[in-house]
Amino acid sequence: MKSSRNAISPYAIAPNRAAGITDGLLCWYDENKRDLPWRHTRDPYAIWVSEIMAQQTRIGFLLGYYERFMRQFPTLETLANADEADVLKAWEGLGYYSRAKNMQKAARQILAAVGGVFPRTKSELLSLPGIGEYTAGAILSIAFGLPTPAVDGNVLRVFSRLEDSAADIMLPQTRQTASAFVSRLMPGDRAGCFTQALMELGALVCTPKSPECAICPLADLCKAKVHNRQHELPKKTSGKPPKTLAKTILILRNPGGQILMRQRDEKLLSGLWEFYMLEAAMDEAAVLAHLKGINVMVNQIADLGAAKHVFTHQIWQMIGYDCLIDGNFNPDGYQWISKDAVSSLAIAAAIRFYVKLL
């Protein structure tokens, strides 16, 4: 007998309640869903792009990015065959650039392995870079109509409140329980609509801090609301606070107006371009001393002010300086870039404050 430990176990829910949740949610979705471009297609590539972009990004913010990205890379083949630099430039401003890099790797893998035919099974999708349980479920249900749960933060929040569950949503077993709950409710004939309806409810009504219970189509079926605990849920363990790092950004210019830049090879912001950076906070005197110590002659220096950028696990506190130097400085990994060419590069969002000052 085969082990079934990876299968989603049945979820105990009364049939009438299950039907009430499913029907109520779908009726609400049909009347209230947002008009989003990827809801006008069943193309798995377009749906995949939208789901990857929507991870940790507000829908209203990404709409313009999505439409531009799809114009530039309208098919899986165009994405697979594009230069990585062009893909990163199209992604500039969305952050989490590994998402774009993994998406292109996956497109190339699909193109090479099966001639560009988009996978239709969960195991095939999970074998691709950047695709996890949620994304696989979203693609299978929305693009192909397969009743496969897609559990993201919105769905976990809706589940926690509907079931009055105090289980920590950061734990894998809670996600598995939520998947079983969704699987029990998902209709075979409208799987994609149900997936989107759950996410839509979490985004528009069952919001994190101020759930709109008065307009919720499932209010009468919500166990947390019955016990007045909807504002206490979901339960979530706090992660470690982000580490604050001091950085000094130097825009080094040579007499010809070129700017010294490099393409990062670190895991964070890999492939993006940045100015010369020092891993410490320095005042003007310290910057001049540092450059003098590596035999760089500074003809002029200007303070560009402070900036801050918050990543998931770290915060950059930056100070920047514009320095005109003699131009004989050629450190490993750096290139002299014309000022006009800088705008065509994929620049790390963390230093965009200083890019604008060019």
d(CA 145, CA 138): 10
Catalytic positions, written as ranges: 51
d(CA 354, CA 97): 20
Task: Name the residue among 87, 99, 92 with its Cα closest to residue 56.
Answer: 99
Residue type, 45: Y
d(CA 119, CA 204): 31
